[in-house]
Amino acid sequence: MLIDLITAFPGSFSGIFGESMLRRAQEKGLLQLRITDLRDFSRDKHRRVDDAPYGGGAGMVMRAEPFFLAVEALAVAKDDPGTRIILLSPGGKIFNQRKAQELSTLNHLVLLCGHYEGIDERVALYLAQERISIGDYVLTGGEIAAMVIVDAVTRLLPGLLSGPSLEEESFTDGMLEYPQYTRPYNFRGMLVPDVLLSGNHAEIKKWRRRQALEQTKLYRPDLVNGRGNTPLAKENNLGRSEE
């Protein structure tokens, strides 16, 4: 997969992309990250990429032209179904594991990072194919949101992680993950649940499913009551009845 990041702050990405799983994915040839400095596409002699908002108001707005020029220079195959141009914005659709899975099947993502008070709406209307937010809060820019997406998508790329750990993780079946323990059995008087040492795999499986459900009811009741029709919710008669 090729991921293009278009940003006025290219330095934000140094560090995170050179560590751990993201580094491994690039070394294995599963992922190519390409960072484009939006300021290289400013015609302004001070390399500015923002301007005052039409209609007045506080703050600055990022201009449309540098984004269009940057995408054009990258020769993005817009009509290719394997390509997706995404604008990161707090006004977008909320990112989740399902979206990460969908994006992980594509071969070229172009992530447009905004800053300042906003981005000229023509970027969202005529350049981006999708607008994504990583949550209901406002960041200083889209760079951290882009990193979140790169990270969540990369770990799903075939060949990076092995199957079972992906299948059992949080959200994959609409539930949070069950609690995990490792040695020692007794840490400062805090013990590991005995069932995990029993060797009884059927009991362990049952315990884990019960725990996953309990954790989800406690921390994310919206997952159990809202969308509802997850395999675990159905198994426990918590799913919404189908109309």
Residues forming the site for ligand ADE (CB under 6 A): 88-90, 114, 133-135, 137-139, 141-142, 145
Minimum distance of ligand ADE from residue 107's CB (angstroms) = 23
In terms of CB distance, is 8 or 134 closer to ligand ADE?
134
In terms of CB distance, is 96 or 236 closer to ligand ADE?
96
Minimum distance of ligand ADE from residue 146's CB (angstroms) = 8
In terms of CB distance, is 66 or 142 closer to ligand ADE?
142
DSSP letters for the chain:
-EEEEEES-GGGGTTGGGSHHHHHHHHTTS-EEEEEEGGGG--STT---EEPPTT--SS-EE-HHHHHHHHHHTT--TT-TTEEEEEEEEEEEEP-HHHHHHHHT-SEEEEEEPBTTEE-HHHHHHT-SEEEESSSS--SBHHHHHHHHHHHHHTTSTTTS-HHHHHTSTTTTSSPPPP---S-SEETTEEPPGGGGS--HHHHHHHHHHHHHHHHHHH-HHIIIII--SHHHHHTT-SPPP-
Minimum distance of ligand ADE from residue 131's CB (angstroms) = 9
- Residue of this chain nearest to ligand ADE (CB atom): 145
In terms of CB distance, is 89 or 154 closer to ligand ADE?
89
Q: Say how many C-beta atoms besides its own lie within 10 A of residue 175's C-beta.
A: 22
Minimum distance of ligand ADE from residue 223's CB (angstroms) = 20
Minimum distance of ligand ADE from residue 142's CB (angstroms) = 4
In terms of CB distance, is 114 or 239 closer to ligand ADE?
114
In terms of CB distance, is 36 or 230 closer to ligand ADE?
36
Minimum distance of ligand ADE from residue 81's CB (angstroms) = 24
